[in-house]
Structure 1
Amino acid sequence: MTKLALSDEILMKIDKPARYIGNELNSVCKNKDEVSIRFAMCFPDVYEIGMSHLGIQILYDMFNKRDDVWCERVYSPWPDLHKIMKEENIPLFCLESQEPVKNMDFLGITIQYEMCYTNILQILDLSQIPLLAADRDDTVPIVIGGGPCTYNPEPIADFFDLFYMGEGEVVYDRMLDLYQEMKRAGRSRREFLHEAAKIPGIYVPSLYQVEYKEDGTIASFTPVDEEIPATVTKQLVMDMTDAVYPEKPVVPFIKATQDRVVLEIQRGCIRGCRFCQAGMVYRPVREKNIERLKALATQMIEATGYEEISLSSLSSSDYSSLEELVNFLIDECRERRVNISLPSLRIDAFSLDVMSKVQDIKKSSLTFAPEAGSQRLRDVINKGLTEEVILNGAQMAFEGGWNKVKFYFMLGLPTETEADMRAIAELANETAARYYDTVPKEKRNGRCQITISTSFFVPKPFTPFQWARMYPPEDYIGRAKVVNDTVKEQLNKKSIKYNWHEADVTVLEGVLARGDRKIGQAILKVYEKGGIFDAWSEYFDYQRWLDAFAECGIDPDFYTMRERSMDEIFPWDFIDTGVTKEFLKREWNNAMKETVTPNCRMRCSGCGVKKFGGGVCYEN
């Protein structure tokens, strides 16, 4: 076994030392002298969160299939170990070899949510890699960013050597081959980055210049020379069936957040919700062949020993062979005594029938995501759900033996009125009424429980709502109070529980989601003030962020509160996701007119992604 980077004395002092020792089932160890590229794959959050991320598992498997590459994993040390590593000058290390990250050729960081930005700096700092890309030389790894937050990489652009736009299975091999070739030729870091920028999907921030207008908006965004493309196009896997997928995923020593086998059945979504970034940037829908999925399910269960398997998709109900797949899994999992988790299902007769077979209805609850309480606002956001569909779905669930329902909503959506806020509580009341009106007393499993949760809307890049404004934290709290007070007015208030999200976190997320390069100096300042694990409420300090913005001369309201003009250049406009800005503008205007756009199977709306070819892109 590899010698551990941490002493027994340190491991005894910290919480959950198994986070740091590696050697898990299905992890990959190679002879470092027999590979020419070493790649540290990082999730900038604690081990239990990072080990639940499917994207890293896919790339880890893909890279390690190459004989010339050894891909290892690294996660953010929890604050207790962070403190010790700083005090004792212990460099951050990879789990497999227990060697310092700074000895690797690449450090790849997947960026799943904005609130982990300070943890990116923690990773670099503990790895003893200069925080700013401009300060790095040929002795430290190339730092790569990937994941959904790279659809606006500008707030963190100064910390990365390059970004990979899109799905990693496509051109990573080409980039690694280029690195190997240039490494053998003795070429410099700067020369490699210049050549890598010519590969589709690769964005090298240092090779682009930003000019600003007097009002603070962007005047121009241009490459430094004509060899560098002005537009960076996202990369997509068009053949999901034959795409690489981990048949033997790594199994953690301690319970991960998603402690199960994950079976990805498709990518993309046909629904077109106007607030949803994933639904826009992962277009078009691409399904994995049913026979491939059956084989993968069996292989992964056998290779891991997990007692649960989950389907992964933005909208599992839209998978064309769902019924056949689910029936196969029910038979297979019953034989193996494995549970089935079926997220992202619409609540209809088929789904309820399936869930009644795979869930213990006495313990489980069903989840609906209407997102808005009123029909008017659901039309604005293009949710495609009517109140009757929601209530009928709940009624079928009640008649099937469920008595717990969870509703997810957003507050602060464009055009929202007080009537829309009150409608959230009123919909919960109507749902409870369906239970008491339709389920005979002798068949009830006690009182029904309707839990409503509201988050606050954050406009994201590449959505029709990217032009929307936000509101101050006190405004969001006021909206939550309207919902809370309305719940108390309802006839079935004893059956309704209400939870709401933190408002200040929402506002900060909005700044980071739509910010430009100027925001990077504030992120750096927050880290210097001790900010890490901002995604964890016990470590989040909003005042620390406000102080950093003030010290850097940044007005956060500029990024959140103001209305944006239709012709403004956004920090992310140089990225081509396939979905055109003209389509997004059209959808914004449809939202303002409360006009519903049919889903992709009903009618093609001309969003632009047909140019990628393949996939399930529906014609008129």
Structure 2
Amino acid sequence: MSVSSPARYIGGEVNSVMKTLTPGMVRFAMCFPDVYEIGMSHLGIQILYDMFNRYDDVWCERVYSPWLDLDKIMREKKIPLFALESQEPVKNFDFLGITLQYEMCYTNVLQVLDLSGIPLLAKDRTEEDPIVIGGGPCSYNPEPIAEFFDLFYIGEGETAYRQLLDVYKEVKEKGGSRQEFLLRAAREVPGMYVPSLYEVSYKEDGTIASFVPTREGVPAKITKEIVMDLDHAPYPEKPVVPFIRATQDRVVLEIQRGCIRGCRFCQAGQLYRPVREKSLETLKHYATTMLESTGQEEISLSSLSSSDYSHLEELVDFLMTTCQEKKVNISLPSLRIDAFSLDVMGKVQDVKKSSLTFAPEAGSQRLRNVINKGLTEEVILKGAGLAFEGGWSRVKLYFMLGLPFETEEDIRGIAELSNKIAALYYEVVPKEKRNGPVQIVSSTSFFIPKPFTPFQWAPMCTKEQFLDKAALTKQAVREQLNQKRIKYNWHEADVSVLEGVFARGDRKVADVILKAYEKGCIYDAWGEYFKYQTWVDCFQECNVDMGFYTTRTRSDEEVFPWDFLDCGVNRAFLLREWKRAAEAVVTPNCKMQCQGCGAARFGGGICFEQRGGDAV
């Protein structure tokens, strides 16, 4: 038998950490439940891997989901899943930490547990099994997978892990049990959620009646952990360099966390409030050090909205000088398309000028107001015009279908806006200066309501409704004068529906996930391996209604499965934004006017106190 890309599994990469095991050392297996090339692109694991391995008493190793060829061999030959650095079985570790970056990795979580020889259900684990801990964006609604985890870390990982590991060592030295450790973790360490210590009850209609801790001293509400001083937070100066090309094969320079924009569909924009910046000097240091320690040929700025970083111009000037000397490319994602951004991109991009990306999200101004995008058609066209004048001729446009309060006119607006941008190229660029015909690539994803957003109350479309909307968009594109210059793509509707179930699901969904895994569902994020009908059958067999989590209308007062978590943004603010969305009222961004979302209580950062309703 042969295994594709064996370099995924051998370890020994540049900057990977090898340690000598000593008595009392805590062993932590850090897992990304997807293939190596995806997992190695994840910044969060690089940060935690570096932070853990700075501790003398901790050895952190990495593990990823084996690809299907190795998965088959491991099952046939009964080879346990192993960590990359030591090649030792994951089951021998103290902790298995699993990053939950997207919902469609949930069956891969079970694959990792299964191949490791760890019982899939937390209640079946013994003292011989690692503590299975989850973190990442999906842990802000951990309930659909709560039964598979001993513990969840809610929030940013740099703050409380040292305390958690110290508690673990104390319990172990005294001969305590895993249950004793979990109870102490829940009581003593901020941001820790132990599902087995909470009880949920339901009303007759299937909604949650109560969600309460079962032991004294366990918090009824768990507040996210957050780093306020990013300059002094751990960050890898020597990130691990993969042997094979990763999806994001470059140095990643995180310039800030959070976003001021307040788009109502965007979960990250709410979860990571308030905005916190790194200083220019800190970023210069990391950029220089990481390029030297990795030999990478590209550096990318990481942020939800890079244009809002207050020292962007100075940073880009520094990078352009440094990177030109080292012949390193600069990647600038998450930029608003304005004169400054285009000037910068014109300097750093190749002479051929690759495509530019705009994200109008909605086809009409009314619907952009509904989602609080803060982007007018005038601004979009002005940006496109500047891009065309600057030599670009290929533009990517990203939209969503199925947004709350969407009409047929909004859907047709996607095609009409695409046509206006295509026509603009021929208006602003003289024939002799055109770099070939204009190319517009318009893509639509399907809207999925997420927890801790104003749209957590919104009903979601069915698969059939999504496909009807995509067909209408396609037809509208064909009706445009510049239809031959517009290419239209859309996302898979069935995957979106399942993601919607997982996003707002409760503990009842765990039975379905387990059954689907037992029936062979794995790598659900990969279209060629996604088995939608199998999932539908599993929901029916478990008597769980998918529509209950997707298409159902929710009352203002409904208790959500994630309401026991405090992400910093309060429910009253989110509900107020939901009401404003229904009226298509735009809310100013955080720099313009504080809206009292609640995140200011964390202090510091670019978050404004409210005095008379104005930002100060």
Instruction: Give TM class, smaller chain.
Output: over 0.9
1:427-455 Cα deviation digits (max 9, x unpaired)? 00000111011110000001000000000
**Aligned residue type for 2:241:** V
User: Which residue of 2 is the match for residue 27 of structure 1?
Assistant: 16
User: Aligned-pair distance for 1:58?
Assistant: 0.2
User: What is the alpha-carbon distance in structure 1 between the residues aligned to residue 216 and residue 309 of structure 2?
Assistant: 43
Q: Is residue 251 from structure 1 mapped to residue 241 from structure 2 by the alignment?
A: yes
Other-structure match for 2:160: 171
Is residue 2:402 matched to residue 1:409?
A: no
Cα distance per residue 1:256-289 (max 9 Å; x no partner):
0000000000000000000000000100000001
Work out which of the residue numbers 214, 221, 226 in structure 2 matches 1:224.
214
Structure 2 residue 589 is the aligned partner of structure 1 residue 617: no
Q: TM-score, with normalisation over the residues of structure 2?
A: 0.98
Q: 1:18 aligns with which of 7, 10, 19?
A: 7
Q: Does 1:67 align with 2:67?
A: no
Partner of 2:198: 208
* Distance (Å, rounded) in 1 between the aligned partners of 2:174 and 2:421: 68
- In the alignment, what sits opposite 1:532? 522
- Counterpart residue identity of residue 86, structure 2: S
Q: Is the 8 A contact 2:346 2:353 kept in 1?
A: no
Matched, 1:182 2:171: yes
Q: Do structure 1's residue 125 and structure 2's residue 111 form an aligned pair?
A: no
Q: Give TM-score scaled by structure 1 length.
A: 0.98
Match of 2:325 in 1: 335
Equivalent pairs counted in the alignment come to 609
How far apart, CA to CA, are the structure 2 residues paired with 1:100 and 1:379? Answer: 52
Match of 1:433? 423
Give the Cα–Cα distance (whole angstroms) in 1 for the partners of residues 472 and 415 of structure 2: 9
- AA in 2 matched with 1:529: K
Structure-1 separation of matches of 2:335 and 2:569: 25
Gap runs ≥5 in structure 1: 1-9
- 1:3 equivalent in structure 2: none
Q: 2:285 aligns with which of 284, 295, 300?
A: 295
Partner of residue 34, structure 2: 45
Please tell me whether residue 134 in structure 1 is matched to residue 116 in structure 2.
Answer: no
- Secondary structure class of the residue paired with 1:41: strand
Q: Per-residue CA shift, 1:297-342, capped at 9, x if unaligned?
A: 0000000000000000000000000000000000000000000000
What is the alpha-carbon distance in structure 1 between the residues aligned to residue 68 and residue 521 of structure 2? 10
Q: Which amino acid aligns with 2:333?
A: P
One-letter amino acid of the structure 2 residue matched with residue 605 of structure 1: Q
Match of 1:362 in 2: 352
* 2:353–2:391 contact (8 Å) kept in structure 1: no
Identity, % of aligned positions:
71
Provide the secondary structure at the position in 2 that maps to 1:454: strand
Report Cα offsets for 1:444-467 as digits up to 9, x if no partner. Answer: 001000000000000000000000
Letter in 2 for 1:40: A
Matched-pair contact (CA < 8 Å) for 2:257–2:277: yes
Aligned 8 A contact 1:35 1:70 in 2: no
Whether 1:325 aligns to 2:315 is: yes
- Find the aligned partners of 1:601 and 1:224 in 2 and give their Cα distance: 42
2:186 alignment partner, one of 167, 180, 197: 197
In 1, Cα distance between equivalents of 2:251 and 2:603: 31
SS across alignment from 2:230: coil
In structure 2, how many angstroms separate the alpha carbons of the residues matched to 1:609 and 1:317?
Answer: 21
TM superposition outliers: structure 1 runs of 4+ over 4 Å: none
Q: Of 405, 419, 437, which aligns to 2:409?
A: 419
Q: Distance in 2 between matches of 1:484 and 1:615?
A: 44
2:132 counterpart of 1:143: yes
Q: Is the 8 A contact 1:372 1:424 kept in 2?
A: yes
Counterpart residue number, 1:4: none
CA contact (8 A) 2:228 2:276 kept: yes
Q: Find 2:71's aligned residue among 82, 99, 102.
A: 82
Query: Secondary structure at 2:412's aligned position in 1?
Result: helix
Structure 1 position 33, deviation (Å): 2.6
State the shift of 1:615 in Å: 1.4
Q: Which amino acid aligns with 2:140?
A: Y
CA offset digits 1:135-192 (Å, max 9, x no partner): 0011010000000000000000000000000000010000001101111111000000
Does residue 559 (structure 1) correspond to residue 549 (structure 2)? The answer is yes
Please tell me whether residue 240 in structure 1 is matched to residue 230 in structure 2: yes
* Residue number in structure 1 paired with 2:148: 159
Rounded to whole Å, the distance in 2 between the matches of 1:248 and 1:430 is 47
State the alpha-carbon separation in 2 of the partners of residues 36 and 296 from structure 1.
29
Q: CA deviation at 1:35?
A: 5.5
Q: Give the corresponding residue for 1:5.
A: none
Is residue 285 from structure 1 mapped to residue 275 from structure 2 by the alignment?
yes
Is 1:97 equivalent to 2:86 in the alignment? yes
Distance 1:600 1:361, change over 3 A: farther
Tell me, in whole angstroms, the C-alpha distance in 1 between the residues paired with 2:163 and 2:472. Answer: 54
Q: Distance in 1 between matches of 2:298 and 2:18?
A: 27
**Are 1:269 and 1:279, in contact at CA under 8 Å, matched by a contact in 2?**
yes
Match of 1:508 among 475, 498, 520: 498
Amino acid at match of 1:136: R
Aligned-partner Cα distance in 2 for 1:283–1:393 = 28
The question of 1:56 aligning with 2:50 is answered no
